[in-house]
Amino acid sequence: MLTNNLSFFTRTAASRSINLAKSHQLRRQFHASAPNMTIKVYFDTTWYGPLVKVDSNGKPTGGESEAKDRSGRINFELFDDVVPKTVENFRALCTKEKGFGYENSKFHRVIPEFMLQGGDFTRGNGTGGKSIYGEKFADENFKLTHDKPFLLSMANAGPNTNGSQFFITTVVTSWLDGRHVVFGRVPAGDVESMSVVKSIEACGSQSGAIKYKGNPPTIVKAGQA
């Protein structure tokens, strides 16, 4: 589940080089055309913290540094032609059509210049959650790589342990290639969505703990667009 023991942060430079080489091999194996993104979902979120404004590339341009209650929507496009099983799990957890899902769950771990992690709607601390297929399901494939920010990827506790937890990258995270399944993204040029992601990122810390005492970053509603 992007393990809470932070083991991936202690990788040596050599191991990261190996993972980067693997990511280049995976890119060559995948066809050159972009994945089709026919499924669109969203999170309506609230948080207590600053507001970060961004340009069309997701680069911060200013904002409001005052910490206060805020809200905004994050839109996602899902790569259902590449990882249909993983996408269906996320989509159904957004709509809550199985009777459980992301609504009212929190981003329990946020690390600036890395990622936002959420999806633990059973325990809220990174140790819980479940998929629509049962508690866990296998890694579908690693055809897509962590080659840009604002990607959606499955958090896990090791191979074939996917549940409901996910993370949204805020930088390139190539060392996670071959370990975590990429299955979606924030739409390119979606300034509002990227602004919400960067604002929630600003609420985090290097330990992953939310640094503000007010309302933690929360998915108050989720659904299919």
Q: Are strands 218-224 and 39-54 parallel, antiparallel or unpaired?
A: antiparallel
CA 41, CA 92: separation in Å to the nearest integer? 10
Residue 187, by phi and psi: left (phi above 0), alpha (psi -120 to 50) or beta?
Answer: beta
pLDDT digits (tens, 9 = 90+) for 1-40: 454 333 333 332 333 333 333 333 433 333 334 566 689 9
**Of the ranges 29-38, 101-110, 167-176, 205-214, which one carries the lowest mean pLDDT score?**
29-38
**110-116 mean pLDDT:** 99
CA 164 to chain centre: 11
CA 222, CA 225: separation in Å to the nearest integer? 9
Alpha helices in the chain (DSSP H): 13-29, 84-95, 191-201
CA 21, CA 206: separation in Å to the nearest integer? 27
**Residue 100 is a catalytic residue:** no
Task: Specify the amino acid at residue 2.
Answer: L
State the catalytic residue, choosing from 156, 162, 165, 215: 156
**Residue 167 is a catalytic residue:** yes
15-52 CB burial, b ≥16 within 10 A, e <16: eeeebeebbeebeeeeeeeebebebbbbbbbbbbbbbb
Terminal alpha carbon distance of the chain: 27
**CATH code for the domain defined by 7-224:** 2.40.100.10
**Phi/psi at 147 (nearest 5 deg)?**
-100, 10
Highest-pLDDT range among 3-7, 23-27, 51-55, 213-217: 51-55
CA 178, CA 159: separation in Å to the nearest integer? 10
pLDDT digits (tens, 9 = 90+) for 62-77: 999 999 999 999 999 9
**Residue 146 is a catalytic residue:** no
State the catalytic residue, choosing from 51, 89, 108, 117: 117
pLDDT digits (tens, 9 = 90+) for 145-201: 999 999 999 999 999 999 999 999 999 999 999 999 999 999 999 999 999 999 999
State the catalytic residue, choosing from 180, 183, 185, 215: 180
In this structure, are residues 39 and 224 in contact, taking their beta carbons and an 8 Å threshold?
yes
**Residue 114 is a catalytic residue:** yes
State the catalytic residue, choosing from 167, 179, 183, 215: 167
CA 149, CA 128: separation in Å to the nearest integer? 26
**Residue 176 is a catalytic residue:** yes
* Nearest CA among 74, 48, 45, 71 for reference residue 202: 48
Q: What is the pLDDT of residue 8?
A: 37
Q: What is the pLDDT of residue 2?
A: 55
In 10 A of CB 54, how many CB atoms? 21
**Residue 4 is a catalytic residue:** no
Enumerate the domain spans of the chain: 7-224
Q: What is the pLDDT of residue 38?
A: 80
Task: Specify the amino acid at residue 124.
Answer: G
pLDDT digits (tens, 9 = 90+) for 129-146: 999 999 999 999 999 999
